[in-house]
Structure 1
Amino acid sequence: MPEEVKQLEDYSKDVDALLSEIKDTADLTRSQIGESVERITVLEKKARNANDLKSTSRLVVKAVNMAIAQKNLDKLKEIVHGFAKKHGQMRTVIVEAVRAASGICDDQVEDVYTLQGQQREDLIQSLRTITEGKMFLEAERARLTYILSHVLLSRNETRKARDVLAELSVETFGSLDRRQKTDYLLQQAFLNAQIGDWVQMKIVTNKINVKFFKEEDTQEQKLRYYEYLIRYAVHNDEYLNACRYYREVYDTDVIKSDESRSKVVLENIVYFVLLAPFNHEQHDLLHRIFADQTFNTPKLQYQYNLLKCFTTPELMRWAGLEALYGQILKSTDVFSNRSTDGKGQARFDEFHKRVLEHNVRVVYKYYTNITLKRLQSFLEVDERQVEEILSSLVQNGTIYAKIDRPAKVITFTKPKKTEDVLNDFTNNITKLLSLVETVNYQIEKEKAVQEAFK
Structure 2
Amino acid sequence: MAEEVSSLILQPELDSLTTDAKASADFSKETAELIPKSEALAKAGRLNEALDELMLLEKKTRQASDGVSSTKLVQLMLRLQREAGEWEKLNGSITLMSKKRGQLKRVIVDMVQLAMKWIEETPSHKEKLKLITTLSSVTEGKIFVEVERSRVVKKLAEIKEAEGDIESASQLLQDVQVETFGAMDRREKAEYILEQMRLVLARREYVRCQIIAKKINPKLLEAEDFQDIKRKFYELLIQMHIEETQSYQQSAGKGREVKLKHEQATDDGSQLDSARYLEISKSFYAIFETPSVKSGDWKNVLECYIIYLLLASFTNEQKDLLNKVSTLEQKRLEQLDHFKQLVSDFLKSELISWPLKYEADLRNHAVFTDSPHAGGDLRWNLFKKRVGQHDLMVISKYYTRITLDRLASLLTLSRTETEAEIAELVTSRFLQAKIDRPSGIVVFGGRDESTDRLNIWSSDIKRILDLTEESSKLVEKERMIHSAKLKKTK
Shared topology, TM-score over 0.5?
A: yes
Alignment of 1:409 onto 2:441: yes
1:342-378: per-residue Cα shift (whole Å, max 9, x none)? 2000000000001001101111111122111111111
CA distance in 2, matches of 1:294, 1:36: 76
Letter in 1 for 2:114: A
Gap runs ≥5 in structure 2:
1-15, 246-272
Query: Do the aligned partners of residues 446 and 312 (structure 1) sit closer, same or farther apart at CA in structure 2, a change above 3 Å counting?
Result: closer
- What secondary structure, in the 3-state scheme, does the structure 1 residue paired with 2:39 have? coil
- What secondary structure, in the 3-state scheme, does the structure 1 residue paired with 2:21 have? coil
Letter in 2 for 1:71: G
Does structure 1 conserve the Cα–Cα contact (< 8 Å) formed by 2:200 and 2:209? Answer: yes
Report what 2:320 is aligned to.
284
Alignment of 1:86 onto 2:119: no
Report what 1:19 is aligned to.
35
1:251-295: per-residue Cα shift (whole Å, max 9, x none)? 223323433xx2221111111111111101101001111113366
Within 5 A, what are the aligned runs for 1:324-343? 324-336=357-369, 338-343=370-375
Report what 1:41 is aligned to.
55
Gap runs ≥5 in structure 1:
108-112
- What secondary structure, in the 3-state scheme, does the structure 1 residue paired with 2:117 have? helix
Alignment of 1:163 onto 2:197: no
Report what 1:51 is aligned to.
65
Within 5 A, what are the aligned runs for 1:432-447? 432-447=464-479
Shift of 1:202: 1.3
Alignment of 1:372 onto 2:404: yes
1:357-406: per-residue Cα shift (whole Å, max 9, x none)? 11011111111221111111110010011111111111122121112222
Query: Do the aligned partners of residues 302 and 63 (structure 1) sit closer, same or farther apart at CA in structure 2, a change above 3 Å counting?
Result: same
1:225-270: per-residue Cα shift (whole Å, max 9, x none)? 11111111222341111111111112223323433xx222111111
1:310-369: per-residue Cα shift (whole Å, max 9, x none)? 1121111112x1xx3333233232101x33342000000000001001101111111122
Letter in 2 for 1:44: E
CA distance in 2, matches of 1:7, 1:52: 5
Alignment of 1:387 onto 2:403: no
CA distance in 1, matches of 2:447, 2:61: 93
Moved more, 360-369 or 228-237: 228-237
Question: 1:265 aligned to 278, 282, 301, which one?
Answer: 301
Alignment of 1:4 onto 2:29: no
CA distance in 2, matches of 1:436, 1:97: 95
CA distance in 1, matches of 2:462, 2:206: 60
Does structure 1 conserve the Cα–Cα contact (< 8 Å) formed by 2:91 and 2:130? Answer: no
Identity across aligned pairs (percent)? 32
Letter in 2 for 1:20: P
Query: Do the aligned partners of residues 123 and 405 (structure 1) sit closer, same or farther apart at CA in structure 2, a change above 3 Å counting?
Result: same
Shift of 1:451: 4.0
Shift of 1:154: 1.4
- TM-score, scaled to structure 1: 0.91
Letter in 2 for 1:13: K
Query: Do the aligned partners of residues 242 and 91 (structure 1) sit closer, same or farther apart at CA in structure 2, a change above 3 Å counting?
Result: same
Letter in 2 for 1:242: I
CA distance in 2, matches of 1:356, 1:266: 24
Letter in 2 for 1:289: V
CA distance in 1, matches of 2:418, 2:52: 88
Letter in 1 for 2:229: Q
Alignment of 1:426 onto 2:458: yes
CA distance in 2, matches of 1:443, 1:396: 53
Report what 1:191 is aligned to.
199
Question: 1:311 aligned to 344, 347, 354, which one?
Answer: 347
CA distance in 2, matches of 1:155, 1:47: 43
Report what 1:356 is aligned to.
388
- TM-score, scaled to structure 2: 0.84
- What secondary structure, in the 3-state scheme, does the structure 2 residue paired with 1:370 have? strand
1:16-56: per-residue Cα shift (whole Å, max 9, x none)? 2222333399x947x52212211211221222222111010
Report what 1:110 is aligned to.
none
Alignment of 1:123 onto 2:139: no
Moved more, 305-314 or 433-442: 433-442
CA distance in 1, matches of 2:160, 2:371: 28
Query: Do the aligned partners of residues 103 and 115 (structure 1) sit closer, same or farther apart at CA in structure 2, a change above 3 Å counting?
Result: farther
Alignment of 1:71 onto 2:88: no
Query: Do the aligned partners of residues 427 and 271 (structure 1) sit closer, same or farther apart at CA in structure 2, a change above 3 Å counting?
Result: closer
Query: Do the aligned partners of residues 265 and 160 (structure 1) sit closer, same or farther apart at CA in structure 2, a change above 3 Å counting?
Result: same
CA distance in 2, matches of 1:270, 1:216: 26
- What secondary structure, in the 3-state scheme, does the structure 1 residue paired with 2:435 have? strand
Moved more, 275-284 or 307-316: 307-316
Does structure 2 conserve the Cα–Cα contact (< 8 Å) formed by 1:369 and 1:413? Answer: no
CA distance in 2, matches of 1:74, 1:37: 15
Letter in 2 for 1:258: G
Does structure 2 conserve the Cα–Cα contact (< 8 Å) formed by 1:295 and 1:304? Answer: no
CA distance in 2, matches of 1:350, 1:284: 21
Does structure 1 conserve the Cα–Cα contact (< 8 Å) formed by 2:334 and 2:340? Answer: no
Letter in 1 for 2:217: N
- What secondary structure, in the 3-state scheme, does the structure 1 residue paired with 2:366 have? coil
Letter in 2 for 1:46: K
Letter in 2 for 1:133: G
Query: Do the aligned partners of residues 209 and 423 (structure 1) sit closer, same or farther apart at CA in structure 2, a change above 3 Å counting?
Result: closer
Query: Do the aligned partners of residues 69 and 408 (structure 1) sit closer, same or farther apart at CA in structure 2, a change above 3 Å counting?
Result: same
